[in-house]
Amino acid sequence: MSADAQDERFIREALKYARRAYTKGEAPVGAVVVRDGAVISYGYNERERKQDATLHAEMTAIKRCCKKLGLWRLYGCTIYVTLEPCAMCAGAIVLARLDRLVFGASDPKSGACGTLFDIPGSGKLNHSPDVTGGVLRGECAALLTGFFTGIRAGEALKSK
């Protein structure tokens, strides 16, 4: 399987978890951590439901992976995320020593992997994962846009 096909395959896996977040009223972002072609862990946004600002998809997937492998250094692993990670998540990806980050949609409001900031590519940190963005960008962005359009419409109805 080509690298592009593998990236698409695992972004589609992450999209499954993003849809799970959507059904729970969370911003639809999903993530999976992969090693040797197999999904090791997953995560999706749970901030609203659990009232915890750190429960982004990436953070949950990284924590689960560390627990499952019994390691905090996740060499040999790739994280696939439907939305470009924020500063917190980009920092966690660097600190966890993930080899690679692949994301779907860019985030113009808080993207820290090339859009607003470039934490993984800064060259000033002790680890720099390879970053590939824009994989299934349209699908990932459409899910987010649909969610926030619905939220705005609901808020508009509530305020009338």
> What's the DSSP call for residue 130?
E
Distance, CA of 63 to CA of 43 (rounded, Å) = 9
Q: How far is CA 111 from the centre of its chain?
A: 11
Query: DSSP 3-state assignment of 102?
Result: strand
Among 13, 26, 46, 58, the one annotated catalytic? 58
Note whether 43 and 64 are within 8 A (CB).
Answer: yes
In the annotation, is 13 catalytic?
A: no
Angle at 119 between CA 101 and CA 79, to 5 degrees: 15
Indicate the pairing of strand 77-83 with strand 100-105: parallel
- Output helix, strand, coil percentages for the chain, rounded to the nearest 5: 45, 20, 35
| Closest to 57 (Cα-Cα) out of 98, 96, 86 | 86
Show which residues are catalytic.
58
